[in-house]
Chains A and B, each alone.
Chain A
Amino acid sequence: AQSVTQLDSQVPVFEEAPVELRCNYSSSVSVYLFWYVQYPNQGLQLLLKYLSGSTLVKGINGFEAEFNKSQTSFHLRKPSVHISDTAEYFCAVIYSGNTPLVFGKGTRLSVIA
C-alpha cells in the first residue's frame, strides 16, 4: 500500500534556529505532495504544495520544501523559527488520479524561547 513516512514524531527547536521536518513517500511515477499545518485545537491549513515544475516550493510563513524524486523525499524547512510556529505538521501525498490524499502520522514542532 502507498504510504507516507514522517521520520520524527516530535521536534524541539530553539527560537530563531533552523528546522527541517522530514517526509518520505512510496516510490511512484508521479505524485502530488503537500504539507499541512495544524495549530492547537484548529483544523488543517495548507502550508505548501508540489504539483509539477520547480522542485523547490515556497509556502506561507517562510516555509519551503524540496521535492527529491531520487530520494522520494519532500522535506520541509524554515531558516529561522518563531514561537508561533509551534504546531503539528503533516506531510500528505496524492499518488495518482482520483486516489485519496494519504497522510503521514505528523510531526509535532515545539519552538522553545
Chain B
Amino acid sequence: NAGVTQTPKFQVLKTGQSMTLQCAQDMNHEYMSWYRQDPGMGLRLIHYSVGAGITDQGEVPNGYNVSRSTTEDFPLRLLSAAPSQTSVYFCASRPRDRRGWGQPQHFGDGTRLSIL
C-alpha cells in the first residue's frame, strides 16, 4: 500500500514550458486535491475533485489544469510555466465513509518545482 505517490520529486523548468505533475493513490479515495506551499502562506488549494469525472477550482487555480479520468489518478498540468509558480506542490486524498467526508487527508511527499 503506497498511499499517495507524487512524481517527480524535483523539477526545474524554463518560463513558458509546460509540464504535468503526477499524483496517484491506491486507497480508493474519492476525494483528491492539489495544494501549493509557499513560505508564510500555508497550503493553498489549487484544484480538487470529489470523484472521477468531477473537478473544481480552489483558491489559486489560474495557470493550472486538472482532470480526473480514474479514481486513482489526479494529474496537475502547468500550461505555460511562470516564475510565480515556483513552489512546493502537494497532492492529497481522503475517503468518504458512512459518516461523510470528515476524514483526515493523506498527503504525498511533494514536488519541488523551480521556474527559471
List residues of A whose CB falls within 8 A of some B CB. Answer: 6, 9, 32, 34, 36, 42-44, 46, 49, 51, 90, 92, 94, 97-106
Contacts and interface: CB of A to CB of B under 8 A. Distances in A.
Nearest to A43: B109
Max count, chain A CB within 10 A of own CB: residue among B58, B92, B101, B108:
B101
Contact of B101 (A43, A90, A98, A102): A98
Interface stretch (B13-21, B37-45, B67-75, B79-87): B37-45
Interface string B48-92: 101000000010000000000000000000000000000000101
24 contacts: A6-B42, A32-B102, A42-B109, A43-B108, A43-B109, A43-B110, A90-B42, A90-B43, A98-B31, A98-B96, A98-B100, A99-B101, A100-B33, A100-B45, A100-B48, A101-B92, A101-B94, A101-B105, A102-B45, A103-B43, A103-B44, A104-B42, A105-B42, A106-B40
Contacts of A46: 104
A12 to B, nearest CB: 17
A34 B99 CA distance: 17
Contacts of A105: 40-42
B31 A103 contact: no
B42 A43 contact: no
Contact of B107 (A44, A97, A102): A44
